[in-house]
Structure 1
Amino acid sequence: MHFQSLRLARCALVVALCVVSSLFSRYAQGVVPFSVLPFVVVLSGWLLRPQEAFWSLSAYVLLGLLGLPVFASPPFGGPTYLFKPTFGFLLGFVLGAFLISALKDKKLFRKSILGVIFLSELGMLIIYLPGLFYLWLAFSLFMGKPIGFNRVLQVGFYPFLGFDVVKAFLAGMLFWKTKGRIAA
Protein backbone atom coordinates (compact mmCIF):
# COMPACT_ATOMS: atom_id res chain seq x y z
CA MET A 1 0.00 0.00 0.00
CA HIS A 2 2.84 2.37 0.78
CA PHE A 3 4.27 1.95 -2.72
CA GLN A 4 0.93 2.80 -4.34
CA SER A 5 0.73 5.98 -2.25
CA LEU A 6 4.26 6.90 -3.28
CA ARG A 7 3.47 6.36 -6.96
CA LEU A 8 0.30 8.43 -6.69
CA ALA A 9 2.18 11.22 -4.92
CA ARG A 10 4.84 11.28 -7.67
CA CYS A 11 2.15 11.52 -10.33
CA ALA A 12 0.34 14.30 -8.48
CA LEU A 13 3.60 16.19 -8.09
CA VAL A 14 4.24 16.07 -11.84
CA VAL A 15 0.71 17.31 -12.57
CA ALA A 16 1.26 20.17 -10.10
CA LEU A 17 4.62 21.02 -11.70
CA CYS A 18 2.95 21.10 -15.12
CA VAL A 19 0.29 23.50 -13.84
CA VAL A 20 2.83 25.77 -12.15
CA SER A 21 5.08 25.83 -15.22
CA SER A 22 2.08 26.74 -17.38
CA LEU A 23 1.24 29.59 -15.03
CA PHE A 24 4.83 30.76 -15.28
CA SER A 25 4.53 30.71 -19.07
CA ARG A 26 1.58 33.10 -18.97
CA TYR A 27 3.76 35.82 -17.51
CA ALA A 28 7.04 35.12 -19.32
CA GLN A 29 5.93 35.93 -22.83
CA GLY A 30 8.18 37.64 -25.30
CA VAL A 31 8.59 37.62 -29.06
CA VAL A 32 8.93 33.84 -28.85
CA PRO A 33 6.71 32.40 -26.11
CA PHE A 34 8.81 30.73 -23.43
CA SER A 35 7.60 27.68 -21.52
CA VAL A 36 9.21 25.61 -18.78
CA LEU A 37 6.71 22.83 -19.45
CA PRO A 38 8.90 20.91 -21.94
CA PHE A 39 11.63 20.79 -19.26
CA VAL A 40 9.11 19.35 -16.77
CA VAL A 41 7.90 16.83 -19.34
CA VAL A 42 11.40 15.55 -20.16
CA LEU A 43 12.36 15.41 -16.49
CA SER A 44 9.17 13.52 -15.62
CA GLY A 45 10.08 10.91 -18.22
CA TRP A 46 13.37 10.35 -16.40
CA LEU A 47 11.92 10.33 -12.90
CA LEU A 48 8.72 8.31 -13.33
CA ARG A 49 7.88 4.81 -14.48
CA PRO A 50 6.36 4.62 -17.99
CA GLN A 51 2.77 4.22 -16.76
CA GLU A 52 3.23 7.03 -14.24
CA ALA A 53 4.65 9.35 -16.88
CA PHE A 54 1.81 8.56 -19.27
CA TRP A 55 -0.97 8.97 -16.71
CA SER A 56 0.53 12.08 -15.09
CA LEU A 57 0.72 14.00 -18.35
CA SER A 58 -2.63 12.60 -19.48
CA ALA A 59 -4.18 13.81 -16.21
CA TYR A 60 -2.75 17.28 -16.81
CA VAL A 61 -4.26 17.42 -20.32
CA LEU A 62 -7.57 16.00 -19.09
CA LEU A 63 -7.80 18.58 -16.27
CA GLY A 64 -7.39 21.30 -18.86
CA LEU A 65 -9.94 19.81 -21.24
CA LEU A 66 -12.43 19.53 -18.38
CA GLY A 67 -12.21 23.29 -17.96
CA LEU A 68 -9.68 23.90 -15.22
CA PRO A 69 -7.45 26.85 -16.21
CA VAL A 70 -4.19 24.87 -16.32
CA PHE A 71 -2.95 25.63 -19.82
CA ALA A 72 -0.53 28.40 -20.72
CA SER A 73 -2.60 30.36 -23.23
CA PRO A 74 -6.21 31.56 -23.45
CA PRO A 75 -8.77 30.15 -22.92
CA PHE A 76 -6.50 28.33 -20.40
CA GLY A 77 -8.76 25.26 -20.38
CA GLY A 78 -11.98 23.73 -21.66
CA PRO A 79 -12.92 21.49 -24.57
CA THR A 80 -12.46 24.31 -27.08
CA TYR A 81 -8.73 23.85 -26.54
CA LEU A 82 -9.02 20.86 -28.89
CA PHE A 83 -9.36 23.37 -31.74
CA LYS A 84 -6.29 25.43 -30.87
CA PRO A 85 -3.42 24.89 -33.29
CA THR A 86 -1.06 24.12 -30.38
CA PHE A 87 -3.14 21.31 -28.84
CA GLY A 88 -0.98 18.69 -30.56
CA PHE A 89 1.98 19.71 -28.41
CA LEU A 90 0.00 18.68 -25.33
CA LEU A 91 -0.43 15.25 -26.90
CA GLY A 92 3.30 15.29 -27.62
CA PHE A 93 3.98 15.91 -23.92
CA VAL A 94 2.21 12.66 -23.06
CA LEU A 95 4.10 10.70 -25.73
CA GLY A 96 7.48 12.31 -25.01
CA ALA A 97 7.38 11.61 -21.27
CA PHE A 98 6.23 8.04 -21.88
CA LEU A 99 8.93 7.37 -24.48
CA ILE A 100 11.75 8.66 -22.28
CA SER A 101 10.48 6.64 -19.35
CA ALA A 102 10.04 3.48 -21.41
CA LEU A 103 13.54 3.68 -22.91
CA LYS A 104 15.51 5.04 -19.96
CA ASP A 105 16.48 1.65 -18.58
CA LYS A 106 18.18 0.56 -21.78
CA LYS A 107 21.95 0.38 -21.25
CA LEU A 108 22.61 2.71 -24.15
CA PHE A 109 20.70 5.57 -22.52
CA ARG A 110 21.21 5.21 -18.79
CA LYS A 111 24.87 4.27 -18.54
CA SER A 112 26.45 7.34 -20.13
CA ILE A 113 25.84 11.03 -20.00
CA LEU A 114 25.70 11.12 -23.80
CA GLY A 115 22.95 8.51 -23.75
CA VAL A 116 20.97 10.57 -21.24
CA ILE A 117 21.35 13.69 -23.35
CA PHE A 118 20.45 11.82 -26.55
CA LEU A 119 17.28 10.34 -25.03
CA SER A 120 16.29 13.71 -23.59
CA GLU A 121 16.62 15.31 -27.03
CA LEU A 122 14.76 12.40 -28.64
CA GLY A 123 11.94 12.93 -26.15
CA MET A 124 11.81 16.59 -27.13
CA LEU A 125 11.59 15.58 -30.80
CA ILE A 126 8.68 13.27 -29.96
CA ILE A 127 6.89 16.25 -28.40
CA TYR A 128 7.25 18.12 -31.69
CA LEU A 129 5.96 15.39 -34.01
CA PRO A 130 2.28 15.38 -33.00
CA GLY A 131 2.51 19.10 -32.26
CA LEU A 132 3.62 20.02 -35.75
CA PHE A 133 1.19 17.60 -37.40
CA TYR A 134 -1.70 19.02 -35.37
CA LEU A 135 -0.57 22.56 -36.17
CA TRP A 136 -0.73 21.76 -39.87
CA LEU A 137 -4.10 20.02 -39.41
CA ALA A 138 -5.56 22.93 -37.44
CA PHE A 139 -4.55 25.48 -40.04
CA SER A 140 -5.84 23.30 -42.87
CA LEU A 141 -9.11 22.06 -41.37
CA PHE A 142 -10.20 24.27 -38.48
CA MET A 143 -8.95 27.63 -39.73
CA GLY A 144 -9.34 27.04 -43.46
CA LYS A 145 -5.83 28.34 -44.18
CA PRO A 146 -3.83 25.46 -45.67
CA ILE A 147 -0.10 25.88 -45.11
CA GLY A 148 2.88 23.92 -46.33
CA PHE A 149 5.33 21.91 -44.27
CA ASN A 150 8.01 24.59 -44.44
CA ARG A 151 5.59 27.18 -43.02
CA VAL A 152 4.61 24.79 -40.21
CA LEU A 153 8.29 24.52 -39.30
CA GLN A 154 8.68 28.30 -39.42
CA VAL A 155 5.73 28.81 -37.08
CA GLY A 156 6.00 25.89 -34.69
CA PHE A 157 9.55 24.57 -34.75
CA TYR A 158 12.38 26.94 -35.65
CA PRO A 159 11.60 29.71 -33.13
CA PHE A 160 11.50 27.22 -30.24
CA LEU A 161 14.21 24.76 -31.20
CA GLY A 162 17.17 26.44 -29.49
CA PHE A 163 15.46 26.91 -26.13
CA ASP A 164 13.96 23.41 -26.22
CA VAL A 165 17.31 21.78 -26.96
CA VAL A 166 18.71 23.57 -23.90
CA LYS A 167 15.70 22.55 -21.76
CA ALA A 168 16.07 18.89 -22.74
CA PHE A 169 19.80 19.06 -22.07
CA LEU A 170 19.23 20.60 -18.62
CA ALA A 171 16.56 18.02 -17.73
CA GLY A 172 18.92 15.21 -18.75
CA MET A 173 21.77 16.73 -16.76
CA LEU A 174 19.57 17.15 -13.69
CA PHE A 175 18.60 13.50 -13.92
CA TRP A 176 22.23 12.48 -14.41
CA LYS A 177 23.31 14.41 -11.31
CA THR A 178 20.53 12.98 -9.15
CA LYS A 179 20.27 9.39 -10.45
CA GLY A 180 20.69 6.85 -7.72
CA ARG A 181 19.18 9.24 -5.19
CA ILE A 182 15.70 9.14 -6.66
CA ALA A 183 14.02 5.77 -7.11
CA ALA A 184 11.26 5.33 -9.67
Structure 2
Amino acid sequence: MRNSQIYSLTLVAIFAALTAIGAFIKIPLPIVPFTLQIVIVFLAGSILGSKRGLQSQLVYILVGLAGLPVFTKGGGLTYVLQPTFGYLAGFALGAFVIGYIIERGGEEPSRLRFVMANLAGTFVIYAIGAPYVYLALNFWLDMPTSASTVFVTAFLSTVGVDIVLAMVTGLFARRIYFILNKRLINVLEATK
Protein backbone atom coordinates (compact mmCIF):
# COMPACT_ATOMS: atom_id res chain seq x y z
CA MET A 1 0.00 0.00 0.00
CA ARG A 2 1.36 3.43 -0.92
CA ASN A 3 1.92 6.20 1.62
CA SER A 4 -0.83 8.31 0.06
CA GLN A 5 -3.35 5.48 0.50
CA ILE A 6 -2.29 4.97 4.11
CA TYR A 7 -2.59 8.72 4.72
CA SER A 8 -6.04 8.77 3.11
CA LEU A 9 -7.31 5.75 5.09
CA THR A 10 -5.94 7.25 8.29
CA LEU A 11 -7.83 10.50 7.73
CA VAL A 12 -11.05 8.59 6.96
CA ALA A 13 -10.66 6.59 10.19
CA ILE A 14 -9.86 9.70 12.23
CA PHE A 15 -12.96 11.50 11.00
CA ALA A 16 -15.14 8.44 11.61
CA ALA A 17 -13.81 8.36 15.19
CA LEU A 18 -14.32 12.11 15.62
CA THR A 19 -17.94 11.73 14.48
CA ALA A 20 -18.42 9.06 17.14
CA ILE A 21 -16.93 11.34 19.78
CA GLY A 22 -19.19 14.18 18.60
CA ALA A 23 -22.23 11.98 19.29
CA PHE A 24 -21.46 12.12 22.99
CA ILE A 25 -21.04 15.89 23.16
CA LYS A 26 -24.74 16.62 23.23
CA ILE A 27 -27.55 18.70 24.62
CA PRO A 28 -30.64 16.51 25.10
CA LEU A 29 -33.72 17.89 23.37
CA PRO A 30 -37.07 16.20 22.75
CA ILE A 31 -36.78 13.64 19.93
CA VAL A 32 -33.62 15.09 18.28
CA PRO A 33 -30.67 15.91 20.58
CA PHE A 34 -28.19 18.60 19.60
CA THR A 35 -24.70 17.12 19.09
CA LEU A 36 -21.38 18.34 17.76
CA GLN A 37 -21.38 15.66 15.07
CA ILE A 38 -22.46 18.14 12.44
CA VAL A 39 -19.24 20.12 12.94
CA ILE A 40 -17.25 16.95 12.23
CA VAL A 41 -19.36 16.33 9.12
CA PHE A 42 -18.60 19.88 7.93
CA LEU A 43 -14.90 19.29 8.51
CA ALA A 44 -14.95 15.84 6.89
CA GLY A 45 -16.47 17.19 3.69
CA SER A 46 -14.38 20.36 3.71
CA ILE A 47 -11.03 18.79 4.46
CA LEU A 48 -11.28 15.26 3.09
CA GLY A 49 -13.27 16.06 -0.04
CA SER A 50 -16.36 14.38 -1.41
CA LYS A 51 -15.09 10.80 -1.65
CA ARG A 52 -13.16 10.54 1.62
CA GLY A 53 -15.71 12.68 3.48
CA LEU A 54 -18.46 10.28 2.39
CA GLN A 55 -16.29 7.30 3.30
CA SER A 56 -15.60 8.63 6.80
CA GLN A 57 -19.30 8.95 7.53
CA LEU A 58 -20.12 5.55 6.01
CA VAL A 59 -17.44 3.95 8.21
CA TYR A 60 -18.99 5.66 11.25
CA ILE A 61 -22.48 4.41 10.32
CA LEU A 62 -21.31 0.87 9.54
CA VAL A 63 -19.38 0.62 12.82
CA GLY A 64 -22.51 1.68 14.69
CA LEU A 65 -24.79 -0.68 12.78
CA ALA A 66 -22.30 -3.49 13.48
CA GLY A 67 -23.11 -3.04 17.16
CA LEU A 68 -20.52 -0.69 18.62
CA PRO A 69 -22.30 1.98 20.72
CA VAL A 70 -21.07 4.99 18.72
CA PHE A 71 -24.48 6.58 18.11
CA THR A 72 -26.13 8.93 20.62
CA LYS A 73 -28.37 6.09 21.84
CA GLY A 74 -26.15 3.05 21.31
CA GLY A 75 -25.70 0.96 18.19
CA GLY A 76 -26.80 -2.15 16.33
CA LEU A 77 -28.86 -2.89 13.23
CA THR A 78 -32.11 -1.90 14.93
CA TYR A 79 -30.79 1.66 15.16
CA VAL A 80 -32.24 2.22 11.69
CA LEU A 81 -35.61 2.32 13.48
CA GLN A 82 -34.55 5.30 15.63
CA PRO A 83 -36.13 8.59 14.54
CA THR A 84 -32.69 10.22 14.30
CA PHE A 85 -31.15 7.63 11.97
CA GLY A 86 -32.10 9.78 8.98
CA TYR A 87 -29.68 12.44 10.20
CA LEU A 88 -26.89 9.85 10.17
CA ALA A 89 -27.70 9.00 6.56
CA GLY A 90 -27.77 12.75 5.91
CA PHE A 91 -24.28 13.06 7.39
CA ALA A 92 -22.86 10.79 4.70
CA LEU A 93 -24.56 12.57 1.81
CA GLY A 94 -23.96 15.98 3.41
CA ALA A 95 -20.21 15.35 3.68
CA PHE A 96 -20.18 14.29 0.02
CA VAL A 97 -22.03 17.44 -1.10
CA ILE A 98 -19.75 19.70 0.95
CA GLY A 99 -16.64 18.12 -0.54
CA TYR A 100 -18.09 18.19 -4.04
CA ILE A 101 -18.81 21.92 -3.87
CA ILE A 102 -15.36 22.72 -2.49
CA GLU A 103 -13.63 20.56 -5.10
CA ARG A 104 -15.30 22.65 -7.79
CA GLY A 105 -13.62 25.77 -6.36
CA GLY A 106 -10.30 25.27 -8.10
CA GLU A 107 -6.89 25.02 -6.44
CA GLU A 108 -7.67 27.66 -3.83
CA PRO A 109 -11.38 27.64 -2.94
CA SER A 110 -12.56 30.83 -1.23
CA ARG A 111 -13.84 31.13 2.33
CA LEU A 112 -17.25 31.89 0.87
CA ARG A 113 -17.19 28.59 -1.02
CA PHE A 114 -16.43 26.72 2.23
CA VAL A 115 -19.28 28.50 4.02
CA MET A 116 -21.73 27.92 1.16
CA ALA A 117 -20.70 24.26 0.92
CA ASN A 118 -21.38 23.79 4.64
CA LEU A 119 -24.76 25.49 4.31
CA ALA A 120 -25.61 23.17 1.40
CA GLY A 121 -24.51 20.21 3.52
CA THR A 122 -26.77 21.42 6.34
CA PHE A 123 -29.68 21.54 3.92
CA VAL A 124 -28.98 17.96 2.76
CA ILE A 125 -28.72 16.66 6.33
CA TYR A 126 -32.04 18.22 7.35
CA ALA A 127 -33.74 17.27 4.06
CA ILE A 128 -33.07 13.62 4.90
CA GLY A 129 -33.20 13.76 8.70
CA ALA A 130 -36.41 15.67 9.41
CA PRO A 131 -38.69 13.64 7.09
CA TYR A 132 -37.15 10.45 8.52
CA VAL A 133 -38.17 11.59 12.02
CA TYR A 134 -41.74 12.01 10.81
CA LEU A 135 -41.79 8.60 9.12
CA ALA A 136 -40.23 6.84 12.10
CA LEU A 137 -42.61 8.33 14.62
CA ASN A 138 -45.76 7.88 12.57
CA PHE A 139 -45.18 4.58 10.83
CA TRP A 140 -42.91 2.14 12.64
CA LEU A 141 -42.79 3.54 16.19
CA ASP A 142 -46.56 4.06 16.32
CA MET A 143 -46.22 7.48 17.94
CA PRO A 144 -48.62 9.66 15.92
CA THR A 145 -46.99 13.07 15.61
CA SER A 146 -48.12 15.97 13.47
CA ALA A 147 -45.91 17.37 10.73
CA SER A 148 -45.86 20.73 12.51
CA THR A 149 -44.59 19.15 15.74
CA VAL A 150 -41.87 17.32 13.82
CA PHE A 151 -41.00 20.56 12.00
CA VAL A 152 -40.46 22.31 15.34
CA THR A 153 -38.61 19.47 17.10
CA ALA A 154 -36.62 18.04 14.19
CA PHE A 155 -35.84 21.27 12.34
CA LEU A 156 -36.49 24.58 14.06
CA SER A 157 -35.05 23.57 17.44
CA THR A 158 -31.54 23.03 16.04
CA VAL A 159 -31.22 24.47 12.53
CA GLY A 160 -30.33 28.00 13.67
CA VAL A 161 -27.35 26.80 15.68
CA ASP A 162 -26.33 24.48 12.84
CA ILE A 163 -26.37 27.35 10.35
CA VAL A 164 -24.08 29.39 12.62
CA LEU A 165 -21.81 26.34 13.05
CA ALA A 166 -21.77 25.87 9.26
CA MET A 167 -20.57 29.43 8.75
CA VAL A 168 -17.98 29.42 11.53
CA THR A 169 -16.65 26.00 10.54
CA GLY A 170 -16.45 27.12 6.90
CA LEU A 171 -14.25 30.05 7.89
CA PHE A 172 -11.62 28.00 9.71
CA ALA A 173 -11.91 24.78 7.65
CA ARG A 174 -10.25 26.53 4.73
CA ARG A 175 -7.01 26.94 6.68
CA ILE A 176 -6.99 23.28 7.79
CA TYR A 177 -7.73 22.27 4.19
CA PHE A 178 -4.58 23.96 2.93
CA ILE A 179 -2.41 22.57 5.75
CA LEU A 180 -3.56 18.98 5.11
CA ASN A 181 -3.28 19.33 1.34
CA LYS A 182 0.30 20.57 1.74
CA ARG A 183 0.99 17.53 3.95
CA LEU A 184 -0.49 15.20 1.32
CA ILE A 185 1.68 16.77 -1.39
CA ASN A 186 4.75 16.20 0.81
CA VAL A 187 3.74 12.54 1.33
CA LEU A 188 3.27 12.05 -2.42
CA GLU A 189 6.61 13.67 -3.24
CA ALA A 190 8.37 11.50 -0.65
CA THR A 191 7.09 8.35 -2.37
CA LYS A 192 8.56 9.28 -5.77
**TM-score of the two chains, using structure 2 as the length reference:** 0.85
- Residue matched to 1:2: 3
The alignment partner of 1:72 has SS state of coil
| Structure 1 unaligned regions, length at least 5 | none
The answer on 1:72 being equivalent to 2:72 is yes
Q: How far 1:146 moved relative to its partner?
A: 4.2
- Residue matched to 1:33: 33
**TM-score of the two chains, using structure 1 as the length reference:** 0.88
Structure 1 residues 162-177: aligned runs within 5 Å:
162-177=160-175
Residue by residue, what CA displacement relative to the aligned partner does 1:98-135 show, whole Å, maximum 9, x if unpaired?
11111212239x64322221111111111111101211
Structure 1 residues 1-184: aligned runs within 5 Å:
1-25=2-26, 28-29=27-28, 33-73=33-73, 76-107=74-105, 111-183=109-181
Q: How far 1:30 moved relative to its partner?
A: 6.1
Residue by residue, what CA displacement relative to the aligned partner does 1:121-158 show, whole Å, maximum 9, x if unpaired?
11111111110121111122112344443222112000
Number of equivalent positions: 179
* Amino-acid identity (%): 31
Q: Report the RMSD for the aligned CA atoms in angstroms.
A: 2.0
| Structure 2 unaligned regions, length at least 5 | 185-192
Structure showing greater radius of gyration is 2
Following superposition, which runs of at least 4 residues in structure 1 exceed 6 angstroms of deviation?
Answer: none
